[in-house]
Chains A and B, each alone.
Chain A
Amino acid sequence: MSVPFLLEIGTEEIPDWMIPGALEDLRRRFLEVMPGAAVSTDATPRRLVLRAARLAEREADREELIYGPPKAAPEAAVAGFARKQGISAGQLEVRQTPRGEYYTYLKKVAGRLTRDILAGALPDIILKIYFPKTMYWTGKGGPRFIRPIRWLVALLGDEVVPFEVAGVRSGNVTCGHRRLGKARIPVTIRSYQRRLARNYVLLSAAERRARIEAGIRELGLTPAPDQALLDKLVNLTEYPTPIAGDFAPEYLALPEEVLVTVMRHHQNYFSVREAGGSLAPRFIAVMNTDSDPEGFIRQGNERVLRARFNDARFFWETDQKKSLAARVPDLAHVTFQAKLGSYLEKTRRNVALVTELGGDQDARRAAELAKCDLTTELVKEFTELQGVVGGLYARVQGEGEGVALAIYDHYKPVSMEDTIPRTPAGQLVSLADKLDTLRGCFGIGLVPTGSRDPFALRRAAQGVVKILVEGKLHIPVRRYLTGIPELEAFLEERIRYYFKDIRGFPYDEVNAVLASGWSDLVDVEERLSALHAVRPTENFEPLAASFKRIQNILKQAQFTEGGDIDAMLFEAGPETDLYEAFEQVRRETAGREYLPALEAIASLRPKVDLFFDKVLVNAPDERIRRNRLTLLHKLLKEFSTIADFSEIVTTH
């Protein structure tokens, strides 16, 4: 017999962003106890739910072999063992073991009831679900969870799985929407989801998402696409319904960035576009209820937004009383990092670095003003707009579009998905800012460890890589790492990640190219593209395998560099052929682009193969042996400047 299972952990409102991770962890922990079960999970802010389709009602019976005393043991010991097992000595069986003959008992163990297993395991499964931050609520030393647990539903078939967590006993009673539903709703596994829906709880995230999307369509508005906001609202509501609101068009005089940030980040509203693409004086809010018949909710949201916009306008106007340029000295009072000084000092370093990197007048001016918006009211209120606000202010203060754009973009890219700054000046300012942060922090030992990266150095390094490659900036970046080995390794790690995980190059190709050295990342990209293009050609992988062989031979021979090839020592045939081909390819590839060069190198393959086939490297004559090793060494060295082929993982 198999039975379905339902677990609902009823809680107070769980932070939306923690829900997906918690469900994944719940599923994993459950499967540890019920391996192979067909499990599905769901959640709303007030419940984490796990359902399993068909669990066996009990474990299979099994047999357990228990060893007693050796055959030679006194009778009393044998009788004692039998008594302990609850049987007579006659029922024992003597078995041969590696250590001799022993009395044994083959015990039949009845499989435990699934209900009992679950009753024992669920408290632990529940309390061990991982959350980034937990609390206790029943008193010091009490259990910890993300928020207080208020009810538990645990049903196996028609029966309650009995257990207790934090003083809450499991049962068959769930709870509806806080205001639209009933507080106590008895359920069965079959009726569970339907009864919740009747009590204004849409259990399925997909269903809530669909309801939001359909509701928006019904409003006839086109919101700015925003998957992250949609995800958030789906996990912030049990019964979501979108409504539209308006704001006075006069606020459109404020920069769109400010308006959108207020709506999106402070109020969780979707902003709305006109048909022409400009921002409309409207917004979409998503309620956690079914309707707004009297318009109270719309009016309330409109009033809140109006107040927020008024604040923003007040800050904007106040900030204009002092130009960015006049704020530079104020940066002396804003700490960048205790040991690395103020933002004024950082600004000076950034300007010097931009100059060193070849930045033009716009780039240098932008670097000088880039951090000044940290002293403005608007950025103090909307910190996520730093940079953007500086760019907007620079524009209205007549700094010129090149400067304004460079300031505006200088925190970009803020993620791997984000684009790099639009202009060369912006790219250099961003690059200098990030390099300075990396050099400074690594210089004083602030190196990220594990998940601890308070200065977001990983993101900075990733930005450096992305800007250099995608901005096609031929900058020998290694030269700007001030010779700190940890920083070089750190950046190499990010370069590897970028080409492998973002750009999708195979890991061995990335390894091969980086093993030949790196500094100008545009050059790295070109070498990598060429290698990737030549990889599928017929000759390449076998040649790569040969290169690896060469490397092994040299290593085994403990070959040390020195001395030139003595062509007179070569025998006619494969050896001379390889040498001549090597010389020819060397001449051909000098100064050529990477792809033709790699193709030419790959064409060496038949000669290399034949060489290994016919020629004995370890010739008895030491001079000949050394000459052959030198040929192989030169071959390897000469043709490993684009990529180290021995890093290529071959199937042969």
Chain B
Amino acid sequence: MESFQQIIFNLKQYWADRGCIIQEPYDLEVGAGTMCPETFLRVLGPKPYRVAYVQPSRRPADGRYGENPNRLYKHAQLQVILKPSPDDVIEQYLGSLEAIGIDLRKHDIKFEEDNWESPTLGAWGIGWQVMLDGLEITQFTYFQQCGGIDLDLVPAELTYGLERLTAFLQAKDSVYDIEWAPGVTYGDVRFEDELQFSLYNFEMADIETLWQLFALHEKECQRLLAGWPDAPDKKRYPLLPAYDQVLKCSNLFNTLDSRGAISVTERVGVIARVRKLAVGVAQAWVEQQQ
């Protein structure tokens, strides 16, 4: 039985062997590996790129105080970007499952239609959820648009839910029982994290403060974007820091949402604000790369 970390090692090695650079997680709060600049910005433009990284992904509303065996405030995704997508991408993907000890002749694999979309990022793609014995283990997406821009090269994005996959391989009913490293469980490592952030996100986060922070980050991003058209030296212009502000806004939005501070009516408007920033950065980035 492979440990959580061993499964990660194996997957990274597998994709490294197929030409991916192995990145480290991005050091800001994100809701999904897709939001990291390594995906969101790199899929834009005509330059081929292959990368794999584990990204801890925060979804404040999914927190359950460490009580629910299947839901986590923060889970780990293995994100793989193959740009452009190779013709045998699905076979390569299935090979990665075999690399972590899944004998596919003894299991049931189905590809069920699931088109991914992120309104906050102005991004969408076509693809599947990959079902292994009835469990969704991977989101497989052919990116079509990002930041509202049609992509030059179509990347395949593979997003593995690592906790689920490990629970499956270790036959554990609770994510907290999976073995992270020999003798150490996932619960040992992460329980406090789940408990305390659930408490904060659902009960204690100060709504007023979060809105202020949101406005500050939005303003900072807008300021940078406003300077872009007339920037004297475009190659050196700080668009990456502008994108960090977008990520901040996105996480604050998620936290406010889990705190119950955003009505359904407001929701659409706030999403549109974040998307506007994301699209602005994406467009500038494409120009900068030319």
Contact = CB atoms under 8 A, between A and B. Distances in A.
B152 A140 contact: yes
Nearest to A233: B110
A643 interface: no
A314 interface: yes
Contact of B108 (A12, A16, A288): A288
A179 B126 contact: no
B265 A338 contact: yes
Interface string A221-247: 000000000000000110000000000
A138 interface: yes
Interface size class, chain B: 35 or more
A304 B135 CA distance: 6
Given A179-B105, A310-B69, A303 B171 contact: yes
A267 interface: yes
Contacts of A136: 144, 154
Interface in A163-197: 178-180, 183
B154 A138 contact: yes
A301 B263 CA distance: 37
Given A333-B263, A334-B264, A307 B108 contact: no
Contacts of B90: 12, 178
Interface in A282-340: 285, 287-289, 292-294, 296-297, 299-301, 303-307, 310-311, 314, 333-335, 338
Contact of A300 (B105, B110, B135, B264): B135
Contacts of A179: 94, 104-105, 109
A45 interface: yes
Contacts of A338: 265
A137 interface: yes
A236 B171 contact: no
B263 A287 contact: no
Contact of A297 (B70, B128, B133, B152): B133
Contacts of A287: 108
A349 interface: no
A315 to B, nearest CB: 10
Nearest to A13: B111
A255 interface: no
Contacts of B115: 133
A338 B69 CA distance: 38
Contact of B151 (A140, A150, A297, A303): A140
B107 A147 contact: no
Given A304-B134, A310-B69, A311-B70, A16 B152 contact: no
A341 to B, nearest CB: 10
Nearest to A46: B111
A358 interface: no
Interface string B113-152: 1010000000001101000111100000010100000111
A139 B263 contact: no
A15 B68 contact: no
A135 interface: yes
Contacts of B265: 335, 338, 342
A145 to B, nearest CB: 10
Given A13-B128, A304-B133, A306-B173, A237 B110 contact: yes
Given A299-B171, A303-B173, A285 B134 contact: yes
B134 A293 contact: no
A137 B85 contact: yes
A296 B106 contact: yes
Contacts of B263: 333, 335
B220 interface: no
Nearest to A138: B154
Nearest to B172: A303
Contacts of B173: 303, 306-307
B264 A236 contact: no
Nearest to B149: A140
B87 interface: yes
A301 B135 CA distance: 7
Interface string B79-101: 00000110100110010000000
Contacts of B68: 310-311, 314
Given A179-B104, A236-B110, A335-B264, A135 B126 contact: yes
Contacts of A140: 150-153
Contacts of B104: 179
Interface in A5-58: 12-13, 15-17, 45
Interface in B53-74: 64, 68-71
B134 A305 contact: yes
Given A304-B135, A338-B265, A297 B107 contact: yes
A178 B134 contact: no
Contacts of B144: 135-136
Given A135-B126, A335-B264, A236 B112 contact: yes
B105 A180 contact: yes
A333 B110 contact: no
A366 to B, nearest CB: 24
A150 to B, nearest CB: 7
A269 B152 CA distance: 40
Contacts of B134: 267, 269, 285, 300-301, 304-305
A342 B265 CA distance: 9
A178 B132 contact: no
A267 B136 CA distance: 10
Most buried by B among A178, A180, A287, A307: A307
Nearest to A267: B134
Contacts of A267: 134
A163 B108 CA distance: 35
Contacts of A300: 107-108, 132-135, 168
A117 B265 CA distance: 57
A287 B133 CA distance: 8
A148 B70 CA distance: 34
B185 to A, nearest CB: 18
A297 B131 CA distance: 11
B153 A139 contact: yes
A337 to B, nearest CB: 10
Interface in A121-145: 133, 135-140
Given A178-B94, A267-B134, A304-B133, A289 B111 contact: no
B126 A288 contact: no
A237 to B, nearest CB: 7
Interface string B154-189: 100000000000001001010000000000000000
A15 B113 contact: yes
A86 B69 CA distance: 84
B156 to A, nearest CB: 9
Contacts of A299: 133, 171
Nearest to A298: B133
Contacts of A294: 106
B135 to A, nearest CB: 5
A307 B69 contact: yes
Contacts of B133: 296-297, 299-301, 304
Contacts of B69: 307, 310
B289 to A, nearest CB: 15
A13 B91 CA distance: 13
Contacts of B150: 140
Contacts of A16: 113
Nearest 5 CB-CB pairs, A to B? A300-B133, A15-B113, A13-B111, A301-B134, A135-B126
Given A139-B154, A140-B151, A334-B264, 12 more contacts: A12-B90, A135-B142, A135-B154, A139-B152, A179-B109, A236-B110, A236-B112, A289-B107, A300-B135, A300-B168, A301-B134, A311-B70
9 contacts: A137-B85, A137-B142, A139-B152, A236-B112, A289-B107, A296-B106, A297-B133, A303-B173, A307-B173
Interface of B: 64, 68-71, 84-85, 87, 90-91, 94, 104-113, 115, 125-126, 128, 132-135, 142, 144, 150-154, 168, 171, 173, 263-265
Interface of A: 12-13, 15-17, 45, 133, 135-140, 147-148, 150, 178-180, 183, 236-237, 267, 269, 285, 287-289, 292-294, 296-297, 299-301, 303-307, 310-311, 314, 333-335, 338, 342
